[in-house]
């Protein structure tokens, strides 16, 4: 008679709970944990007191917004995202022209483009389910890593809502 291996309990899967958790919208706390650092970074940039980390936070959120646009959940914002992206590229060029980061003074059209982006990104996040949010975040992180960038999680941002990522070249 053959000896049998001891029975191992399989992990209990609750497909309806998993589906419900992936399909729910982001909570107000999750939205706030994403938008509060974004608003703070934009405010410091607008006042001419931004660090490179503040700029990187905005650039990372724009990359995330582009991925949300590509997913097809919220469409039609690519023109506004491109304007904000171009504004951030110009700001970074001025800020690091001397070799070290110096917070530049922004032009009116740059402030307007980034302010519009912040509002549109908030709108995007309100339309997403948690599953769509996670998919866009993983895509953004993968793209950043493939370009040799480093992912840095912000303090105070919950693990379930980490759109507010700082992406920068290492």
- Rounded distance between C-alpha atoms, residue 110 and residue 33, angstroms: 25
Question: What pLDDT is stored for residue 1 in this prediction?
Answer: 64
Read off the pTM. Answer: 0.78
The residue assigned the tokens 């107000």 is: 28
Considering the domain boundaries, does residue 19 fall inside one? Answer: no
* Number of structural domains in the chain: 1
SS3 152: strand
Average confidence score pLDDT of the chain:
85
Picking from 114, 122, 50, the residue whose alpha carbon sits closest to that of residue 86 is 114
**pLDDT tens across 68-120, in order?**
999 988 889 999 999 999 999 999 999 999 999 999 999 999 999 999 999 99
Considering the domain boundaries, does residue 93 fall inside one? Answer: yes
Question: Phi/psi of residue 115, each to 5°?
Answer: -60, -45
Considering the domain boundaries, does residue 89 fall inside one? Answer: yes
Considering the domain boundaries, does residue 7 fall inside one? Answer: no
Domain that holds residue 80: 27-169
Considering the domain boundaries, does residue 152 fall inside one? Answer: yes
Query: Residue 154 — very low, low, confident or very high, per pLDDT cuts 50/70/90?
Result: low
- Tell me how crowded residue 170 is: count the other CB atoms within 10 A of its CB: 7
Helix (H) or strand (E) holding 153: strand 149-153
């Amino acid at each position: 008679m053959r000896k049998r291996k001891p029975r191992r309990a399989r992990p209990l899967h609750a497909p309806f709970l998993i589906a419900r958790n992936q399909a729910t919208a982001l909570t107000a706390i999750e939205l706030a944990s994403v938008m509060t650092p974004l608003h703070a970074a934009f405010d410091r940039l607008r006042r001419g007191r931004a660090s490179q980390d503040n700029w990187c936070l905005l650039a990372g959120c724009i990359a995330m917004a582009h991925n949300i646009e590509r997913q097809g959940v919220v469409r039609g914002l690519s023109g506004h995202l491109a304007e904000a992206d171009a504004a951030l590229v110009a700001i970074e060029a001025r800020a690091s022209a001397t070799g070290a980061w110096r917070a530049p003074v922004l032009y009116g059209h740059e402030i307007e483009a980034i302010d519009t982006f912040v509002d549109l990104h908030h709108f995007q996040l309100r339309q997403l389910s948690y599953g769509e949010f996670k998919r866009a975040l993983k895509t953004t992180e993968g793209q950043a890593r493939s370009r040799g960038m480093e992912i840095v999680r912000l303090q105070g941002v919950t693990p379930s809502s980490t759109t507010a990522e700082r992406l920068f070249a290492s």
